[in-house]
Chain A
Amino acid sequence: MAETAAAQKNAQITRTAHSQGEEPASARPLVELDHVEKWYGELHVLRDINLKVSKGEVVVVLGPSGSGKSTMCRTINRLERIDSGVILIDGHPLPQEGRELTRLRQKVGMVFQSYNLFAHRTILDNVTLAPRKVLHRPKAEAEKEARELLSRVGVEAQAAKYPAQLSGGQQQRVAIARALAMHPDVLLFDEPTSALDPEMVGEVLNVMTDLAREGMTMICVTHEMGFARQVADRIVFMADGQILETGTPEQFFEHPQTDRAKDFLSKILNH
């Protein structure tokens, strides 16, 4: 899918910023998946997934449809259970249920393909609700920060409207602001631009690129190859529930190792 010129430019700036940036402060990975397995009945949807994501790292997950990208993403904040293995967030194992899970989930923000803004609440409420009700922050303070976040993603003028009154691109940017309002340690993106009209893809990718540049730790499932190439620190390639390759964008796009990856790239890049 075509990317806007602005996104390309931003992505280039990001790249420079990354190459000049220092090494992650802590050696401990922020997110760690260790021998994770998951079945949907007979279907072995995640097979021995091992992945470490450091603070400030941008990981882009690529792979054909049905390869388990969404499922992996969703296990990281336990929207899906795993059958064996461990998932650690900042060194703490993700619990099965209860308060501890709720607390760890706050550290892992998620942006969905279908935005999932709360349809019965205004844009401002969408962003303030979780800080107020989960973090118990005073309303005025939460609203002040929400307005800052909304202006950061360029939708401050829409604060009083309802989600259905916004374009898809605007809704997705609000969804990003809503996730940021919880000050997550890591943001998960599951195909954040796939539901958008082509002319709105760029505005969302721009926001994501800015976040990456500011040092946000991100795990992005996407089919936007321009973004993957220019913003990712690392590409993770999945097929049939397995991680087949992981490497820098350059390594992956220029020198794919497996036949599945070569096949995937030829289909993506030649259509």
Chain B
Amino acid sequence: MDFVGLLTHYDVVGAFWVNIQLTLWSALFSTILGVILVLMRISPVGSLRGFATGFVRFFQNMPLTILMVFLLLGAFVQLRLQFSSDFTTNFYWLAITGLSLYTSTYVCESLRSGINTVPIGQAEAARSLGFGFFQSAFLIILPQALRGAIAPLGNTLIALMKNTTVAAAAAVASETSSLMNTMIEANADQILTIFLIFAIGWVILIIPVGLLTTYLSNHLAVRR
């Protein structure tokens, strides 16, 4: 089978699309969770700060593969936690759960580094004008923190995209690294071509994200 044959016989584009979908869902959930975590970390309530710190330490220091295997074997097989009776759908959402838990800690830490770029006077001015905690956070602090956190958030997104291939461990069979394995098994003589197809595909997918991040962090920077 030649290059064109490989591309027509296997749904390479479809596999990439699965990774993109995993990325988008996980990005959405990890952003929400990451914002909640960072709000807890800057909150005046000690127990919330403690919980968020513990959560971040735990999930950030656990290898993603271990987390995925736990979700698959522990949460699903042992604890019977499931999203759907359909196996494929279930594994798909378990993968998103693992990716979101793991990535949210990096979103939280990126935002926190962004918050550190916001002078304390901004929060004091907000408080002195009568803004409450959430108003200060969402109107004043986070919008500025976000602009200061674009570079680490961009890196987090890139890491998330690559990490979706680890979702193979949670058995999302249709994604790229699984498809690559399948293709190599059937076409062992074409291993280099197959590798290049996926390598180049990933590079094409990720380079624009990096460029966009650089562009945004230069253009949205808060002037002081």
A positions within 8 Å CB-CB of B = 77, 79, 97, 99, 102-103, 105-106, 108-110, 112, 114, 116-120, 129-130, 133-134, 162-165, 175, 178-179, 182
Q: Are B128's CB and A108's CB within 8 A?
A: yes
Query: Do A119 and B124 have beta carbons less than 8 Å apart?
Result: no
Contact of B125 among A106, A116, A120 (CB under 8 A): A116
Given contacts A116-B119, A120-B144, contact A164 B129 (CB under 8 A): no
Chain B residues touching A, majority SS: helix
**CB of B63 within 8 A of chain A?**
no
Task: Knowing A129-B139, A134-B135, A164-B223, say if A79 contacts B130 (CB, 8 Å).
Answer: no
CA distance A119 to B221 in the complex (A): 10
Q: Which one, A105, A114, A129, A162, contacts B128 given CB within 8 A?
A: A105
Q: Is the CB of B122 within 8 A of A119?
A: yes
Other-chain contact of B224, A77, A97, A119 (Cβ < 8 Å): A119
Known: A117-B125, A118-B122. 10 other contacts (CB 8 A): A79-B127, A108-B128, A112-B124, A112-B125, A114-B121, A116-B124, A120-B222, A129-B139, A134-B135, A162-B223
Q: In the assembled complex, which residues on chain B have CB atoms less than 8 Å from the CB atom of A162?
A: 223
Q: Are B130 and A106 in contact (CB under 8 A)?
A: yes
B198 on the A face (CB < 8 A): no
Could you say which residues of chain A place their CB within 8 Å of the CB of B139? Answer: 129, 133
Given the complex, which residues of A lie within 8 Å of B132, measured CB to CB?
99, 102
- Sorting the interface of chain B by its residue count into under 10, 10 to 19, 20 to 34 or 35 or more gives 20 to 34
| Residue B143 interfacial (CB < 8 Å) | yes
- Whether the Cβ atoms of B130 and A130 lie closer than 8 Å is yes
- Judge whether A103 and B222 touch: CB under 8 Å: no
CA separation between A110 and B125, bound complex, in Å? 8
Sample of 30 A–B contacts (CB below 8 Å): A77-B127, A79-B124, A102-B130, A102-B132, A103-B130, A106-B130, A108-B128, A109-B128, A110-B128, A112-B124, A112-B125, A114-B119, A114-B121, A116-B121, A117-B125, A118-B125, A118-B126, A118-B140, A120-B147, A120-B222, A130-B130, A130-B131, A133-B131, A133-B135, A133-B139, A162-B223, A164-B224, A179-B128, A179-B129, A182-B129
B222 touches A119 (CB 8 A): yes
Residues of B107-130 contacting chain A, CB below 8 A: 119, 121-122, 124-130
What B residues does A178 contact at CB under 8 A?
129
| Set of chain B residues within 8 Å of A108, measured between Cβ atoms | 128
Q: Are B122 and A116 in contact (CB under 8 A)?
A: yes
Q: Report Cα–Cα, A79/B127, bound state, in Å.
A: 8
Please give, as numbers and ranges, the residues of chain B lying within 8 Å of A130 by CB-CB distance.
Answer: 129-131
A108 CA to B125 CA, complexed, in Å: 12
Bound together, the chains give a CA A106 to CA B128 distance in angstroms of 7
CB 8 Å contact bits of B29-45 with A (1 = contact, 0 = none): 00000000000000010
| A256 CA to B128 CA, complexed, in Å | 34
Q: Name the A residues within 8 Å of B140 (CB-CB).
A: 118
Give CA–CA (A162, B144) in the complex, Å.
Answer: 13
Give the 8 A-B CB pairs with smallest separation, nearest first: A164-B223, A106-B130, A116-B121, A116-B125, A130-B129, A110-B128, A134-B130, A119-B222
Q: Which residues of B contact A106 (CB under 8 A)?
A: 129-130
